[in-house]
A and B are shown apart, each in its own frame.
Chain A
Amino acid sequence: ETGVTQTPRHLVMGMTNKKSLKCEQHLGHNAMYWYKQSAKKPLELMFVYSLEERVENNSVPSRFSPECPNSSHLFLHLHTLQPEDSALYLCASSPRLEGNYEQYFGPGTRLTVT
């Protein structure tokens, strides 16, 4: 595997379910990110980790809970979601936590909340 991978690619869940999204990067990067992409809207930064430490929690509701057990893996735990949380969730990584580094994105998880 190369680059940034995400599983599952598609997820349908009810509002009372608990599920987790997984991201793995094989690039040796130190920074990892979660973004939300809704139709016709800009990507919204949700969480940022640098060397497994969270450095950004961008006013995200507590029903989204990130976890970064090591610099290669990033999870997004979901519980009691709302229909408006349906979106594409993208994971990205970059060599370091500095803005002039290119971010490498995974293919995303398409989430539908019913």
Chain B
Amino acid sequence: GQNIDQPTEMTATEGAIVQINCTYQTSGFNGLFWYQQHAGEAPTFLSYNVLDGLEEKGRFSSFLSRSKGYSYLLLKELQMKDSASYLCAVTDGDYKLSFGAGTTVTVRA
């Protein structure tokens, strides 16, 4: 089976940094995705990691440790528009994406 855990909610101040952790236990692994979903909207792709290490894309970075079954998404210089749900998803190498329940990030002024 697949088990993907991430915190339910996080709150941070505008301009700050927030780190969203994701741990996974899956029968197979061929990469980990992060998606952003604003309320009432479609999830949109943020990042994909398949090798260990840090991938940086502007204000957002994603880290993966395959040996630890662990990833995090780092959001820097938080803006109000970053208030959203962040979904961690693991692909088993076939076509199936297994999702975590999502982390709702609230950015306060």
Contact = CB atoms under 8 A, between A and B. Distances in A.
Interface stretch (B13-21, B60-68, B69-77, B97-105): B97-105
A6 to B, nearest CB: 9
A97 B96 CA distance: 9
A47 B59 CA distance: 35
Interface residues of A, number: 25
Most B C-beta atoms less than 10 A away, residue of A97, A98, A103? A103
Nearest to A44: B99
B30 A106 contact: no
Nearest to B2: A42
A106 B42 contact: yes
A91 B30 CA distance: 22
A42 B33 contact: no
Interface in B33-62: 33, 35, 40-45, 48, 50
Contacts of A102: 33, 45, 48
Contact of B97 (A45, A50, A55, A108): A45
A39 to B, nearest CB: 10
A43 interface: yes
A104 B45 CA distance: 8
B87 A99 contact: no
B95 A48 contact: yes
Contacts of A100: 30-31, 48, 50, 91, 93
Interface of B: 4, 8, 30-31, 33, 35, 40-45, 48, 50, 87, 89, 91-102
Given A97-B95, A100-B31, A102-B33, 12 more contacts: A4-B42, A40-B8, A42-B98, A42-B102, A43-B87, A43-B97, A56-B95, A99-B30, A99-B94, A100-B30, A105-B44, A108-B42
